[in-house]
Amino acid sequence: MKIQDKPGGRPAKKRIEKQQRVVSTKLTELQYYAIRKRAGEAGLRVSEYVRQAVVSAEVIPRLNRQDADTIRKLAGEANNINQLAHRANAGGFALVAVELVKLKNRIVEIINQLSDDWKNKKGSGFKGCVNYVLGKEQAALLHADGVLTESRGDIIRSFCMQTGMNPDLKKPVGHIALSYSAVDAPKLTDEKMIQLAQEYMREMKITDTQYIIVRHQDREHPHVHIVFNRIDNNGKTISDRNDMYRNEQVCKKLKAKHGLYFAGGKEQVKQHRLKEPDKSKYEIYNAVKNEIGKSRNWQQLQERLAEKGITIRFKYKGQTSEIQGISFSKGEYTFKGSEIDRSFSFSKLDKCFGDAGLNVAESQRETTFTSVQEQAPTRSNAESPFISGSFGLFSSSPFPMDEEPNLNLRKKKKKKKQLKL
């Protein structure tokens, strides 16, 4: 039923503006008179004072499962630090230096995750998200729909009021950052940024709901933040199903439609701002890219990368000598070649060495595979348990050490590419 204004009367209130719900609670005498006093000082009625205080109050919730897991992780790392300290006291710092660096990286990763958890994600509270996007220096509110904008508190209260239409939704906060290349900065006016943000929301089916669009000036690349209510104006939930996949497709569509710049790949990434494990991934990418052209074969590439703390592991097909894949390791992080870059699969990297080594003798193959086997790390039971996962990502030797591979099983088949030495 459509709400219509009565002739000569007050404008009809929207559904979300009507105050129809009642919440009752009991107070002590001291609490009641304290509230009355504060309401009088604020020049408000008691009911209005309580309403504003409740809506804008920040309540410290109980730990959710994710936070509890994070605290357990940190507690576990604290125990590992204690173990390392005992070992260092007994045998010297050099004995635990490598493990200490790995431990430090894990702790930093957990702490960074804690500080970034609520950014760019769906969350449970509008206060932190709104304060973040509007609290940045030179932040500009470009557009708002469905919320009061007199103050930051009004925006927060507007969002919070609508969440009451669907209290079962635990994460009503939607937060998206849309970033563009600095190349497009001259044509990305505030009006254009609003247009792009609204088109993005329509494509993502984020419609008929409250939202704000805020532009930040703290980076050289233009970007805006969209904060929206996942509870729409009718109390229905805006779906987030497959939103990561849909986001990628929509961004590509909008860039093509508006003639925006597509980044040229990994060279455009600001690597100094990366955190683990992406930091290690890009260090491997740069090292392989720089050294592959200087190496005549795999052995030379392995040696050059080893000088930079990077190791190569080959994956074999079953018990055969056929190489199926490749992975790179730096510190505690391991990546498949194709995870680092599509051009880093074994077959594509192997082409960089030309035809050298494709038809190596069987004796050379045996030497090759034996040397690769010997490089596979082995763990003793005496090793500290907190590094047990560091080397477990590598596949085991392609065949037992006391057996020779049967290289004559595939005589009639096409020869497979072998490791070039």
Angle 338-340-343 from CA coordinates, rounded to 5°: 55
What pLDDT does residue 191 have?
Answer: 95
For residue 231, list its beta bridge partners: 237
Beta strands 333-336 and 323-330 are: antiparallel
CA trace torsion 378, 381, 384, 388 (10° rounding): 50
What pLDDT does residue 263 have?
Answer: 60
Cα 213 to chain center, whole Å? 22
Beta strands 323-330 and 310-316 are: antiparallel
Question: Is residue 249 helix, strand or coil?
Answer: helix
Tokens representing 420 are 């070039």
What pLDDT does residue 316 have?
Answer: 87
Within 10 A of 173 (CB to CB), how many other CB atoms are there? 23
Q: Given strand 333-336, what is the order of strands in its sheet?
A: 310-316, 323-330, 333-336
The gap between the terminal CA atoms of the chain, to the nearest Å, is 78
d(C-alpha 306, C-alpha 417), whole Å: 23
pLDDT (tens digit, 0 to 9) for every residue of the chain, 421 residues total?
455 555 666 677 666 667 778 888 888 888 888 899 889 988 999 988 888 888 776 665 565 666 667 777 777 787 788 888 888 888 887 888 888 888 877 787 776 655 444 444 455 588 889 998 999 888 999 999 999 998 898 899 889 888 888 888 888 999 999 988 888 888 999 999 999 999 999 999 999 999 999 999 888 789 999 999 999 998 999 988 877 778 888 988 998 999 987 665 555 566 667 778 888 888 998 899 888 888 888 889 999 999 999 999 998 888 888 888 999 999 889 999 988 888 888 888 888 876 553 433 233 344 444 444 444 443 333 333 222 233 222 233 333 333 333 434 344 444 444 544 4
Q: How many alpha carbons fall within 13 Å on the CB side of residue 397?
A: 19
* CATH code linked to domain 126-262: 3.30.930.30
Cα 152 to chain center, whole Å? 28
Within 10 A of 76 (CB to CB), how many other CB atoms are there? 14
Which residues are CB-neighbours of 169 under 8 A, at least 6 positions away? 163, 230, 231, 237
Which residues are CB-neighbours of 135 under 8 A, at least 6 positions away? none
Tokens representing 264 are 């040229």
